[in-house]
Structure 1
Amino acid sequence: LQLEETDKQKKVLDGELQRVKGEVNHAAKQKALVEEELSKVKAQMDQLLQIKLKMEEENRTLAQKDKDH
């Protein structure tokens, strides 16, 4: 009887372990997706920063031309 109980408990724990492993695996995949999205957003922010810097440079150039005239 004791052995049967232990066997049942082992099966329950094995099932629980598999469930947890599945959740960990899922979480790892989610984390990878989030990191990929974050990487894309950072790249877009870098692009926007470059555009902003370029526009500021153009504005300075135009302001300088206005002063010269």
Structure 2
Amino acid sequence: MRATPHTRTAMHYAHVSDSVVESMLVMLVGLIVLYVGFAVYLRWKHGPAPKRKTDEGRKRHPKTSRRKR
């Protein structure tokens, strides 16, 4: 690809105007912020996720991968 004035963005998007690329980046950042905010809201509303009992779970369900080999 030849060097164009749009080299500050990715070379693959050289044919796309900078405003479109910037708007896409803004939308992507906005989606990430919304996702993180929603996760924090659910965690605050319903409380933290319940912790699993590690020791009891391992004893009840032994690994069978050793027998198959």
TM range (shorter): 0.3 to 0.5
Compare relative contact order (CA 8 Å, sep 6+) and give the higher one, 1 or 2: 2
Which TM-score applies when normalising by structure 1? 0.44
**Structure in which a larger fraction of residues adopt helix:** 1
Structure number with greater Rg is 1
Which TM-score applies when normalising by structure 2? 0.44
